[in-house]
Amino acid sequence: MVDTYTVTMGIILVLIATPMFNLGIVFQKMGLRQGPEIAFDKGFVGVIKAFKEIAKNKWWLLGAILGVVAWFPYVMSIGLVGFMVAEPINSIGIIIVVIAANRILGETVTWYEFLAITVLAISPILITLAGISEVAIDLYEMVIPLTIFLIITFSITIGSFIYSQKKRGTKLEGFFVMLTGSFFLALGGVFTNILAQAIGQANIQLTWYFGIEIFFGIFWFDYAHLWVFIGWWGLAICNIASFAFYQSAFQKSRMAVVFPILDSIGLAIPIIAGTLVFKQTFNNYFLFFLAIALIFIGTSTLGRFQADIETMDVKKSSSSIKKDEAIEPI
């Protein structure tokens, strides 16, 4: 069983990461309303050109930087408590969206929404009390279940993308674009878990060649370093792909539609991968799944704030933030 101190530190780290992830999404949404459309039918070059223009917006750039910085405590958290714990807790970041809607838009919070916030706040405590029995993964035993899992999930991801292109210009396009991005993001989390665990098993130290050892671990010619290499490039490719897709989905659909998809996939994939692929266990499964249910109910209840952020007037919101000195734009 993982000791309470380690679990607590892991949860604290993911709670540090999740505000940055979610504030980043709010700021990126603000910037995307003023940028060009991200269209995949124009090919890779077209997507890059769109992002070059979007990156000129200070709000979008601030959001992107926050998202990158958040990955450091998030990866550390996965190394301590595993993907199956870190990712569901990351979902409670919707509380940040509620605060943003309240501060930026002056939205009131009802009693049942306060209750949802409370429910989300206690869910990490329930996960801690569930007692994580095993975090370290067997890099040999996971090969077959991981291969099957990746074949299934990548097939769904590619199928969603193909269908989104067939439904281009319709209401379903944004749904399937976000579904594609959500699966890529969740798969990025799977590879992040592999990387975090493989780094420990490869005994990689914080040296001057730390980055080289991770980027090109395959040339260390041992099994653990091979998985460091696979984990790093898997998370890099999947997260870059997910970034393009869910940013495009923000432009094509309402947040009230696309965010529940992101949250649902973000809850389902860690549970499936953690249980069937990485064999992560708990002493009290009742408390763990109770926490998962509370997170799902809480995020669903607070979904309207995502729609409020989506429909806000960007210029008015920016002026309001400056006036209140809530955030200093870069």
The whole-number pLDDT of residue 101 equals 63
The whole-number pLDDT of residue 102 equals 67
Determine which of 6-20, 32-46, 144-158 has the lowest per-residue pLDDT on average: 32-46
Q: Which of 242, 264, 279 is the last residue of a domain?
A: 279
**In which band, very low, low, confident or very high, does the pLDDT at 260 lie, cut at 50, 70 and 90?**
low
Q: Is the domain of 11 the same as that of 130?
A: yes
- Rounded distance between C-alpha atoms, residue 232 and residue 212, angstroms: 11
The whole-number pLDDT of residue 13 equals 92
Mean pLDDT, residues 205-212? 80
**In which band, very low, low, confident or very high, does the pLDDT at 329 lie, cut at 50, 70 and 90?**
very low
Per-residue pLDDT tens for 163-207?
A: 988 888 777 787 888 889 889 988 988 998 899 889 888 888 877
Q: Is the domain of 9 the same as that of 90?
A: yes
Per-residue pLDDT tens for 77-132?
A: 888 888 778 877 777 777 776 776 666 656 666 777 778 778 877 887 788 778 77
Q: Is the domain of 84 the same as that of 169?
A: no
Q: Is the domain of 119 the same as that of 143?
A: no
What are the Cα distances from residue 121, in Å, to 90, 91, 190, 267, 324?
12, 11, 25, 16, 27
Q: Is the domain of 141 the same as that of 274?
A: yes
**In which band, very low, low, confident or very high, does the pLDDT at 315 lie, cut at 50, 70 and 90?**
very low
**In which band, very low, low, confident or very high, does the pLDDT at 314 lie, cut at 50, 70 and 90?**
very low
Q: How many domains does the chain divide into?
A: 2
- pLDDT of 137 > 60? The answer is yes
More confident residue, 318 or 238: 238
Q: Which of 237, 263, 279 is the last residue of a domain?
A: 279
- Rounded distance between C-alpha atoms, residue 163 and residue 110, angstroms: 39
The whole-number pLDDT of residue 104 equals 62
Q: Which of 279, 294, 311 is the last residue of a domain?
A: 279
Q: What are the phi and psi torsion angles at 281 (to 5°)?
A: -125, 165
The whole-number pLDDT of residue 89 equals 79
- pLDDT of 309 > 80? The answer is no
**Residue 273 DSSP SS3:** helix
**In which band, very low, low, confident or very high, does the pLDDT at 292 lie, cut at 50, 70 and 90?**
confident
Q: Is the domain of 212 the same as that of 319?
A: no
Q: Is the domain of 261 the same as that of 288?
A: no
List CB contacts of 160: < 8 A, sequence separation 6 or more.
176, 179, 180, 183
Mean pLDDT, residues 215-240? 91
Q: What residues make up the domain containing 14? A: 1-135+281-330
Q: What are the phi and psi torsion angles at 8 (to 5°)?
A: -60, -45
Q: Is the domain of 256 the same as that of 294?
A: no
The whole-number pLDDT of residue 184 equals 92
The whole-number pLDDT of residue 323 equals 47
Mean pLDDT of the chain: 79
Mean pLDDT, residues 250-263? 65
Mean pLDDT, residues 236-241? 88
Q: Is the domain of 216 the same as that of 296?
A: no
The whole-number pLDDT of residue 322 equals 47
Q: Is the domain of 234 the same as that of 164?
A: yes
The whole-number pLDDT of residue 257 equals 58
Determine which of 123-127, 146-150, 261-265 has the lowest per-residue pLDDT on average: 261-265
Alpha carbons within 13 A on the beta-carbon side of 279: 10
Q: Is the domain of 237 the same as that of 295?
A: no
Q: Is the domain of 226 the same as that of 145?
A: yes
Cβ atoms of residues 75 and 196 within 8 Å: yes
